[in-house]
Chains A and B, each alone.
Chain A
Amino acid sequence: MHDRDAILGELRATLVELFELDPARITPDAQLYEDLEIDSIDAIDLMDRLRRQTGRKIDSGRFRSVRTVSDLVDTIHQLVNET
């Protein structure tokens, strides 16, 4: 899960499973809160899941600046490529 496309693919699957979203709605430009209705409580559930998937502790401060799906992909990308 090191390149952005692969990350987007996995993230889409995760979002579909967690939030029962229509996969077509999960575009890179989609706003998590406005378009996908993922609120601050959902974000915590999502963070827990990503933590398990990536095996990395995600700093919540970093997560708070995420607005769109592509922001999230970037954050995960940075995270998994950190050593």
Chain B
Amino acid sequence: MMAPPVRTSARPFRDLYYVRLATTGLSFMLFGVGGVLLGVVVVPLLLAVPGSGAARRTRVRRMIRIAFRFFIGFAHHSGAISYSFSGAERLGRPGQLIIANHPSLIDIVLLIAFTPDAGCVVKREALRNPALVIGVSAAGYVPNAPTDLMIERATTLLTAGECLIMFPEGTRTVPDRAVHFHRGAASVALRAASVVTPVFIRVEPPSLFKSIPWYRIADPRSHFSLRVGRDIDPAAFRHGPPPIASRAFNEHLAAIYAVEAAAN
């Protein structure tokens, strides 16, 4: 399993390569073991404290945010990754839909770690992952399928004034392939978002991408840069028949990301 990465040059590995390989492995273990423990021990305790459904959800989300902050801190200080996040203070507003491109495995972890009381749309597979299932359900995260239920739940959540994170690409993007935005996020935005805020994620050099196994770590270490872009007002697109409007809005969003990608 610990196959050395493909070498493209004869130079020695840089930047504490083997230390980082070990701490990357440790980070994965921490996530898996931590997720199961928090799900089995902490979530039931949090749910046992009296309160409304919303209060319980907020409590679980706060715990997840603290756990993810800790996890990111571990990955960062142990040298597995480095990261920067600019504009995070503009995340977490009522009715805000946060969208982001999705290059890596930990995009959602970074976003949740820095967004107060956020809901998010997660892959349905998250409900089959033992480290995630209990937390995901208790936090009221929204599975991405079936589509009609996803739209309904996401709309309800935003209408109630919560903040929601979605990846319009749906799944991690394979590098060098044209980006395709699914219309779900645009449709949800037009139905219920008070504001849409784009986050641009860049990972350089690439790691934790879809096509890269976790142990093929970057050399030197990957830097995850997250930048919160300018707010987009969905109201400008709320006219005409909804299917036409959501297509136009989706193209608008995809174009914003295309401009960002071309600038890099």
Mark A residues whose CB is within 8 Å of B: 17-20, 38-48, 60, 63-64
**A40 and B148 within 8 A (CB):** yes
A interface SS class: helix
**A60 and B243 within 8 A (CB):** no
Chain A contacts for B146, CB-based, 8 A = 40, 60, 64
**B242 and A18 within 8 A (CB):** yes
Per-position 1/0 for B15-33, Cβ under 8 A of A? 0000000000000000000
**B148 and A43 within 8 A (CB):** yes
Query: Other than the known A41-B184, A45-B241, what 17 A-B pairs have Cβ atoms closer than 8 Å?
Result: A18-B241, A18-B244, A19-B241, A40-B146, A40-B147, A40-B148, A41-B151, A41-B243, A44-B151, A45-B187, A45-B242, A45-B246, A46-B243, A47-B148, A60-B146, A63-B148, A64-B146
Chain B contacts for A38, CB-based, 8 A = 243
Chain B contacts for A44, CB-based, 8 A = 147-148, 151, 187
Mark B residues whose CB is within 8 Å of A: 146-149, 151, 182-184, 187, 241-244, 246
> Which chain A residue shows the least CB distance to B184?
A41
**A18 and B148 within 8 A (CB):** no
Report the bound CA distance from A45 to B148 in whole Å: 10
Chain B contacts for A64, CB-based, 8 A = 146, 148
Find B148's partner among A17, A19, A20, A60 (CB 8 Å cutoff): A60
In the complex, how many angstroms separate the beta carbon of A31 from the nearest chain B beta carbon? 17
Report the bound CA distance from A50 to B187 in whole Å: 18
Report the bound CA distance from A47 to B149 in whole Å: 12
> Which chain B residue shows the least CB distance to A48?
B242
Chain B contacts for A18, CB-based, 8 A = 241-244
**A41 and B187 within 8 A (CB):** yes
> Which chain B residue shows the least CB distance to A16?
B241
Chain A contacts for B151, CB-based, 8 A = 41, 44
> Which chain B residue shows the least CB distance to A37?
B243
> Which chain A residue shows the least CB distance to B188?
A41
Report the bound CA distance from A17 to B246 in whole Å: 15
Report the bound CA distance from A41 to B144 in whole Å: 12
**B183 and A39 within 8 A (CB):** yes
Chain A contacts for B182, CB-based, 8 A = 41
**B147 and A45 within 8 A (CB):** no
| 27 A/B residue pairs, CB under 8 Å, sorted by A | A18-B241, A18-B242, A18-B243, A18-B244, A19-B241, A19-B244, A38-B243, A40-B146, A40-B147, A40-B148, A41-B182, A41-B183, A41-B184, A41-B187, A43-B148, A44-B147, A44-B148, A44-B151, A44-B187, A45-B187, A45-B241, A47-B148, A60-B146, A60-B148, A60-B149, A64-B146, A64-B148
Chain B contacts for A40, CB-based, 8 A = 146-148
In the complex, how many angstroms separate the beta carbon of A24 from the nearest chain B beta carbon? 19
